[in-house]
């Protein structure tokens, strides 16, 4: 009696025989991954990286878009030091940043804490608070210009309590910058409020319950529970606000065009004036490098301070 031998023969697997299909799959996945990120890399390289590299070269030259750039060394930076317009724009930028950053941070945090409660219609109020941030800057500038005019609503309200300045805010060299800061704070608060709202969602409720059991007041719960838990969010908000404040341009340009005189003439507008209006691309590039260096230094300092606090 013989046993049936019709079972399929076992194929002998050679060492490393499955490596080819595995490599093909790996190459396929790599190509698919590159196909997703390559357009972004190309766009970043063409629109951002190459212009930035060219900017650093331009800062050491004199070029008006015609002819070849003439190498000047550090002459553009030396000229910046003695340029009165540059000094004014730098001072106005710092003036704007010193008030815009803390006011926006406090307003955003206060609004986030208010809208983090079980308030009726809270979804509507959150949307309403965010709406200014997505509104066109041109529309914002047009509306606020009317509100800040000599016979505008703001002066009429101030007139009720005897504080009507009698002039349009954006036409007065003393009131123009406070007006710009006020509008900027109003516009940016909604965006940073959302960041703080997200941060508040991560605070463990058990910490509040334990604090209540210990008899902590509302201020003690905020200072000992909420504020420490929001430190990463506050750090991110501060960095973003600092960079945004240093490079402010569109709202200032549309609201006051840097005036009256040069009372709201900021550093980004100085770069625009020299580069786009006066065709001094090399000189404008030097100003841009100063702005970039300021943002970089302030951000590094913020990172170091935050790292030291975390220890």
For the stretch 203-215, pLDDT in tens is: 998 999 999 998 8
pLDDT number for residue 253 = 93
What separation in angstroms does the CA of 158 have from each of 154, 164, 181? 6, 5, 18
- The yes-or-no verdict on residue 269 having pLDDT over 70 is yes
First to last CA, the chain: 83
d(CA 34, CA 29): 9
Q: Virtual CA dihedral for 139, 144, 145, 146, nearest 10 degrees?
A: 100
d(CA 129, CA 28): 47
- Residue 280 gets which letter from DSSP? -
Region 152-172: what's the mean pLDDT?
A: 87
The torsion angles phi and psi of 135, rounded to 5 degrees, stand at -80, 145
Structure tokens at 299: 């951000």
Structure tokens at 34: 């590159």
- The yes-or-no verdict on residue 3 having pLDDT over 50 is no
Per DSSP, what are the bridge partners of residue 71? 61
How large a percentage of the chain has pLDDT more than 90? Answer: 60
- Residue 262 gets which letter from DSSP? T
- The yes-or-no verdict on residue 68 having pLDDT over 90 is no
pLDDT tens digit sequence for 76-112: 999 999 999 999 999 999 999 999 999 999 999 999 9
Structure tokens at 122: 């809270």
Region 2-30: what's the mean pLDDT?
A: 63
Structure tokens at 51: 């212009």
pLDDT number for residue 7 = 46
């Amino acid at each position: 009696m013989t046993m049936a031998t019709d079972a399929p023969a076992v194929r002998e697997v050679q060492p490393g025989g499955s490596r080819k299909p595995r490599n093909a799959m790996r190459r396929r996945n790599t190509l698919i991954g590159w196909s997703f990120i390559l357009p972004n890399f190309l766009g970043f390289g063409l629109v951002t990286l190459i212009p930035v590299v060219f900017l650093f070269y331009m800062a050491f030259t004199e070029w008006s878009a015609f002819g070849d750039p003439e190498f000047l060394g550090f002459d553009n930076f030396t000229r910046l030091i003695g340029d009165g317009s540059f000094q004014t724009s730098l001072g106005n930028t710092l003036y704007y940043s010193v008030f815009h950053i803390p006011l926006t941070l406090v307003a955003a945090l206060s609004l986030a804490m208010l809208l983090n409660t079980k308030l009726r219609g809270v979804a509507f109020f959150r949307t309403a608070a965010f709406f200014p941030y997505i509104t066109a800057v041109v529309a914002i500038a047009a509306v606020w210009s009317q509100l800040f005019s000599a016979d505008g609503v703001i002066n009429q309200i101030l007139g009720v309590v005897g504080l009507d300045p009698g002039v349009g805010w954006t036409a007065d060299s003393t009131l123009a910058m406070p007006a710009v800061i006020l509008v900027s704070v109003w516009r940016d608060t909604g965006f940073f409020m959302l960041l703080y709202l997200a941060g508040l969602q991560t605070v463990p409720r058990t910490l509040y319950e334990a604090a209540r059991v210990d008899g902590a007041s509302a201020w003690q719960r905020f200072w000992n529970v909420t504020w420490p838990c929001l430190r990463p969010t506050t750090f991110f908000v501060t960095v973003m606000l600092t960079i945004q404040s240093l490079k402010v341009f569109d709202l200032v340009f549309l609201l006051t065009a840097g005036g009256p005189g040069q009372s709201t003439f900021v550093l980004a507008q100085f770069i625009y004036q020299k580069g786009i209006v006066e065709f001094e691309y090399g000189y404008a590039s030097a100003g841009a490098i100063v702005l970039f260096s300021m943002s970089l230094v302030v951000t590094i300092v913020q990172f170091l301070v935050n790292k030291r606090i975390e220890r």
